[in-house]
Structure formats: structure tokens, C-alpha cells
Amino acid sequence: MKRHTKSLILLLSLTLLSLSTTNLTHAVTFSQDIGVSFTFNPSIQINLSSSNLVIPNLAPGTSDDSNIITVSVLTNSVAGYTLNATVGNSTTYTTRDLKHNDSNISNKFTSVAFGSSIASNTNLENNTWAYSYLDESLNNGTNTTWTNYDGLPLYDDETNIATLKSSNDPVSSASGDSIKFKIAAKASGDQLSGTYNNVINFIAVANPVPTPAPISCPSGYICYSDSGANSPTTMSNQEINAQWQRAELWGSNFQLSGYGFAGWSDKYDWVLNENDVDGNGTGVNAGYHIYGPNTILTFPNGEYSGSNPGLALYAVWVPSAGDLQSFTCPNNSTMPIGTMTALRDQRDNNVYAVAKLKDGKCWMVENLRLDNTAAHNSDGTLAQGYNSSFIGLADPETGNISGTTANSLYSTDGSTAFTISGNGVAYRFPRYDNRHTASPVANMTSWSNTTSRIYSVGNYYTWAAAIADTSYYNTLNQSITTTSICPYGWHLPKGGNSDNAANSELWSLGVNIMGFAPANNSYYQDSETNANNKTAVAAFRDYPNNFMVSGSHRQMIVPEVGSSGYFWSSTGNNSMTSLMLSISSYAYPGTYSATKDEAATIRCVR
């Protein structure tokens, strides 16, 4: 067995300072540079269920499979891994063939050619051998089809590579990702008896973290780079408004497995650090910026027009540092205000960027994407007629939630999880899946030059789906619900204004972002003549808050996408409406009232 890792060497310089107190009026100093280095190796290991692959008794004139072993890979690499296999070694077995254990006997089992595709072990030629494997994770974990038989490359063959499994995702299971592996052989009637041997090497390689590279951008445009994203690999260029010399940045259409999207940077190799809490670069990032996905940029000097190149922006990715469900928001000395990280949702493995915002709480800074794709019909709406509780990843036919721990992964505002129950039609979860490739979203093409795959918009949820409880549908008088569709330990932010400021997390966030409360106790006004109020809407949209103008979903359209954003709170308003954060020409920090059957986006808070 071989184990491969990727190394990264960092060189640091330390300065030592000594003060002499023998002279009280003049301090004596000296300094010395000491080189420091360390090697970082993403951990990666292979576990085998057996040390040998054996066909105990291959009868003359027959073919047979070996016993089956399990090969498991465990790694903390956020970029995933690749599992390869070879045969032989540099000492005893310099051949791909199975050699007789008596070195004086030249009989052997010849390996089939690399690249063979033999459907059955019975199709092997006499005195040959081959391998096959099964990846049970395919077909939603139900794959039972073994691959056709093939030959392994020799250990030092740099031309041919036998890849058994490749994943761009982090290994989420504590037991690792696994395949089943076996060999087969066929013997002629006159083959000499005895034991035939060789060795098989399983090689796990941690995938490299994507390396961003600069791109060129034509004059008068904003160009978006995926910075190594898995999919898709391109977004259309955005034309800068020539008259007003301004642009509202588009939401990201890119996604990178195991990473959260923090925003757009005008530096292709931006390095996140705790000093870049407001996106205005410091240190190696000095002079550069990170922008929220819908930040409004102005270019009064026309610096990206005429003979000048356009503005190239690069996706800023943050690797997952753990799970949302097990995360506790640290105090400010451990996690300063503005610090960005990323966490994985155990329910569907989506990874979200998370930031400590100015209210001192940790917020998801990407819209919730939890989806029940099985519940969609061809037009992207929730399939009707199921009297079952299929919030989350439940089967729409039975209402059963997949996995033994799925119910406990939803949140309450307290310390315990809760069990999903209720009527599936009433939940309408989600009202619209924004990533549904068959369904164009009205007005979205003008925002993004794509149809419906704006990844960072997330999904749209009715209030019943957002609170994961239909019994609160008729809640009156700003009653705050105790359950939500957020991950366990997280919750929908509470709404309301200064009358219940102690409970209103959206109000508190707005006041902390702006440094002052709305003068009319309800909303901040976006006015060309009032600089303070105008900055309120921009502040919600800017990094690291990253609230998006993703519109809402009503009657099979998504109105106001690109100009307004709506985010549910956990606070009911009356029998027909509930409160939310709204950002458009005004910023309502948890004080905007919307009908409960409208579908809006969600941000969860810890």
C-alpha cells in the first residue's frame, strides 16, 4: 500500500527584540532573523478489509472470482482525492503476471491488457487474470453493478493509470469512501498446480486545491472568473452602464465542492485573513477588495472604458472548516467581527460561507439551498397531492426522511432538535428550485445573462416551509416560532422593530451595520440626497453581509430579482402575513410584512 500527500512549505521570518535596562534613558535593542518552516500534509489513509485477495481452489479448466475486499479512503482534503491501483513492485514482482511460488516453474497467469473490457470472468482466456470493482456510492448509494474486468498497469507505468474512484468532494463519512475490489482468473486443464502470486498497490492522492489565475476582460465589461470552480466554468460578461458608469454585481453562478462562496475580488489570488474583515485589503491584499455578490460599483472616472481593460473579478472560495450542526459561534477574541469561514450542512453536504457580523453573531452569508429535488415536477414547482411530511430530503411518495438521523438535524431555538411533521402540500417546500435546469426564471436573464442557474440565490420558501411547522400558519401578534428549516443549532433570525428590539435580530443587525437606528423606527430610506440612508441598502449588500437582491417567488415568477431582496424572519405578524428583511430602495431590517404564501429566501443565524 502506498500513501500520497501534497506538501506546502511556508517560510516565515521572526524578529526577536531584547531591551536592556542598565541605562534607564536609552534602550539598547538588537534583532536577528530566524528562518522557520513547516510542511503541511492533508491527512490521507487507506483501510483494507483484508490483506490478501485469494482464490482458494481454482479448479482445472474453470474460471472463478476471488474473495471481495473493501478499500476505504479517509482524508481531510477539502478538494477530495483520487484512488488509483497498480500491480507489482521493484523487487520480487517486476511483472503484471501472477508468478508460481516455485521460482523454478515458469508457468504463470498472464494479466489481461490494460484497457480491456471483459464482461464476465467466464470470458477470460485460459491462464489469464483481471480485476473488477464496485462503487456502492453511485446511483444514490444503491449501485450493485461491477465494472467489466480489466488489467492493472505495472507499478512504474507512467503512461497508463487505473483510477478506481475520483471525488472533488471532501470525505464526509467517518468510515471513509469505499469501493469493493476483486480479481478473477481462468485456468486451463494442463496448468501446473500451486500458488500464483503478485501484489496490488492502492494509491490515494489528495487532490490539489484549485489555483486561481488572472483573466483578461474587454473594455466596458465586468468579467467573472470561477477561480477553479467545479461547475460551471464560465459566466457571461456583464456590460457596465456607459451612461451612469455603474454596475450592480451579479450573484455567483459557480460552485466548488467543499467550499463556500465569500464574494468577488479584484485580486485573482486573494488570501482571506482576519485583518480583511471588511473586504478592504490589508497586507498582501493591500489596494484590492472583496465585494458582496450584489455590491453596487461606480466608476466615475471611466477607468474600465475606452482603451482601458474591463474589470476582472474572481470568486473567493473558503474551505469547509466543519459542520454547521456542530458549530458554536466563538467570542470576538477568538473570531473577530468580520471573520469569514465556511461550514457544511450535514443534511445535503452543501457548504456555506459563514461570517461573524457586526451584531456579534455568526450568520450564513449565502442563501439556503436545501432542496427536495424528488418533489419537483417538470416546471420546477412542488409536486401536488402528497399528504406527507416531506420537508428536507424526504421521499415524496412515502414522506419518510432519508437517513436515521435526518430528523435531528433541523433546528429549534433551544438546545434540542425536533421531528418534522405536517402536511406536505401546506409546506410547499421549496416553492421554487432556482437550480432547476428546465425552468427559466422570469427577469433573471437581464440580471445574469443566464436562465435559471444562479447558484448563490439558493431556493425560495414559503413561511410554512421556512418555519417547518404548519401549526404556526395563523400565528398572531408577532409571535416568534421555535422551529425552522435551518440546520440544528441555527435558526431563522427574529423580526420586528425597536418595540421588541431585544428579540429582533434583524433589527439589531441593521443598527449595528449602520451605527444608528432608522429615524422612522421602521426602515432606512435609500435617498440620493441622504448619504447616511443611502448607504444602508448598500451596507446590507456589501461584503461581508452579502444579502442579495434575489427577489421572491409569486405565482410562478420571481419578480424584482436584481433590484430587491426578501429574507424571512421567524416572527409572525398576523393571520395572513409575517415579517422579513427587505432591501430595495429602502432597507426594512425585519419590519417588512409579506403574505405567508409568498416564497422568499433564507439566511440562518447561530
Q: How far is CA 428 from the centre of its chain?
A: 25
| Paired strand residues for 180 | 70, 134
DSSP string, 494-537: P---GGGTTT-HHHHHHHHHHSS--TTSS-EE-BTTBHHHHHHH
* Distance of alpha carbon 125 from alpha carbon 109, whole angstroms: 10
Question: What confidence tier does 32 reach under pLDDT thresholds 50, 70, 90?
Answer: confident
Q: How much is the mean pLDDT over the chain?
A: 77
Instruction: Render pLDDT for 297-348 as a digit per residue (tens, 0 to 9).
Output: 988 888 898 889 999 999 999 988 888 888 999 988 889 899 999 998 877 7
State pLDDT tens for residues 444-485. 444 443 433 457 788 778 787 788 765 555 444 556 777 788
State residue 371's pLDDT score.
66
Three cell numbers, residue 34: 530566524
Per residue in 188-197, pLDDT tens?
A: 999 999 999 9
* Cα first-last separation, the chain: 43
Q: What average pLDDT does this structure show over 63-79? A: 89
Please state the separation of Cα 91 from the chain's center in Å: 44
The pLDDT tens digits for 372-394 are 544 332 223 332 222 223 333 33
> Helices (H), strands (E): how many in the chain?
6, 30
126: which 3 cell numbers?
485460459
Q: How confident is the model at residue 598 (pLDDT cuts 50, 70, 90)?
A: confident
- Let me know if 391 is exposed, middle or buried by CB neighbors in 10 A (0-12, 13-18, 19+): buried
Which cell is 130 given?
Answer: 483481471
Domain boundaries, the chain: 2-40, 44-206, 221-356, 362-595
State pLDDT tens for residues 394-409.
Answer: 333 333 333 333 344 5
Q: What is the DSSP letter of 113?
A: P
Strand 200-206 relative to strand 2-3, pairing: parallel
CB neighbour burial string for 38-61, b if at least 16 within 10 angstroms, e if fewer? eeeebebebeeeeeebebeebeee
Is the peptide bond between 210 and the residue preceding it cis, with omega within 30 degrees of 0? no
The residues, any chain, with a CB within 8 Å of residue 302's CB and separated by 6 or more, are 245, 308
Closest CA to 486 of 410, 545, 586: 410
How does pLDDT run across 221-255, given as a tens digit for each residue? 999 999 888 777 778 888 898 888 888 898 888 88
Q: How confident is the model at residue 117 (pLDDT cuts 50, 70, 90)?
A: very high
Residue 8: pLDDT band (50, 70, 90) is: very low
Q: Which amino acid is at 521?
A: N
Q: Other CB atoms closer than 10 Å to residue 183's CB: what's the count? A: 26
Q: What percent of the chain has pLDDT over 90?
A: 37
- What's this model's pTM, rounded to 2 decimal places? 0.71
Mean pLDDT of 350-354: 93
Evaluate the CA torsion angle 464, 558, 393, 383 in order and state its sign.
Answer: positive
pLDDT tens by residue, 520-574: 778 887 554 444 445 778 899 999 999 998 888 765 556 677 778 999 998 888 8
C-alpha cell at 592: 417588512
> What distance in Å separates the CA atoms of residue 139 and residue 512, rounded to the nearest whole number?
47
Distance of CA 297 to the CA centre of its chain: 27
CA 423, 427, 432, 437 torsion-angle sign: negative
Count the neighbouring beta carbons within 10 Å of the beta carbon of residue 386: 18
Long-range contact set of residues 307-311: C-beta below 8 Å, sequence gap at least 24: 307/219, 308/219, 309/216, 309/217, 309/218, 309/219, 310/217, 310/218, 310/219, 310/220, 310/221, 310/222, 310/223, 310/237, 310/240, 311/217, 311/221, 311/222, 311/223, 311/240, 311/266
Cα–Cα distance measured from residue 461 to residue 428, given in angstroms and rounded to the nearest whole number: 8
Alpha-carbon gap, residue 364 to 340, rounded angstroms: 10
Mean pLDDT, residues 569-594: 89
How would residue 97 be classed by pLDDT, with cut points 50, 70 and 90?
A: very high
- Rounded to 5 degrees, what are φ and ψ at 577? -130, 160
Answer whether CATH 3.90.550 is correct for domain 44-206.
Answer: no
